[in-house]
């Protein structure tokens, strides 16, 4: 997103995560225009420091479904960020929250669809029975 000319601000509770951002980057994350805040998504102060009030889009993609669902709703309801997306691994909950107006990405669902696609392609595109 940074390379496309957007401003990107990351929040992570692990200060070391900053190094990951600079992998395959020619300059430092900050020189490239990025911002990095140490904190968790439930800390209002960290979100404010990261500039949530000015954000056009907010992506909640920590490794915890519950955390993502909560902070996505904070971004949406409290800070009125226009576009909010949450990563939810659990397909059932992803579907329900999607219906509640939280835009979700469900990697499990995506992987299942890809795997199904591969299987269908390899058995000849068809009405074959599931193994």
Partner 1 sequence: MAERMYILVIGAGKVGWNLARELLEKGHEVTLIENNHERFATVEQELEHSVQYGDASELWVLERAGISRADMVIAVTGDDEDNMLICQVAREKYSVERIIARVNNPRNRQHFELLGVTPYVSATDLILRLLEHEVPEYGLIHLLDLPEERLEIIEMLLADDSRVAGQRVGDLNMPQGSLLISVLREGRGFVPAPDTVLEAGDEVLAVLDPGLEEDLKAFFGPNGG
Residues forming the site for partner 1 (CB under 8 A):
42-44, 64-67, 69-70, 73-74, 77-78, 90, 92-93, 96, 100
Structure tokens at 111: 């992987």
**Least distance (Å) from partner 1 to the CB of residue 73?**
6
Nearer residue to partner 1 within complex by CB, 34 or 41: 41
Q: What is the Cα–Cα distance from 4 to 1, expressed in whole angstroms?
A: 5
Nearer residue to partner 1 within complex by CB, 78 or 120: 78
- Among 81, 84, 50, 52, which residue's Cα sits nearest to residue 69? 84
Cβ-contact 104, 89 below 8 angstroms: no
Structure tokens at 45: 């102060």
Nearer residue to partner 1 within complex by CB, 82 or 101: 101
**Least distance (Å) from partner 1 to the CB of residue 10?**
20
Nearer residue to partner 1 within complex by CB, 93 or 109: 93
> Position of tokens 């994350």?
29
**Least distance (Å) from partner 1 to the CB of residue 131?**
23
* E strand map for the chain: 9-12, 35-38, 57-60, 83-87, 103-105
**Least distance (Å) from partner 1 to the CB of residue 77?**
6
């Amino acid at each position: 997103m940074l390379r496309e000319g957007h401003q990107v601000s990351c929040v992570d509770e692990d200060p070391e995560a900053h190094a990951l951002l600079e992998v395959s980057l020619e300059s430092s994350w900050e020189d490239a225009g990025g911002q990095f805040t140490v904190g968790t998504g439930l800390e209002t102060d960290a979100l404010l420091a990261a500039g949530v009030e000015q954000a056009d889009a907010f992506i909640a993609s920590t490794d915890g479904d519950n955390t993502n669902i909560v902070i996505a709703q904070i971004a949406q309801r409290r800070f009125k960020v226009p576009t909010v997306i949450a990563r939810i691994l659990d397909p059932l909950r992803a579907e329900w929250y999607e219906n509640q107006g939280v835009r979700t990405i469900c990697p499990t669902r995506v992987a299942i669809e890809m795997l199904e696609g591969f299987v269908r392609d390899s058995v000849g595109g068809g009405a074959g029975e599931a193994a």
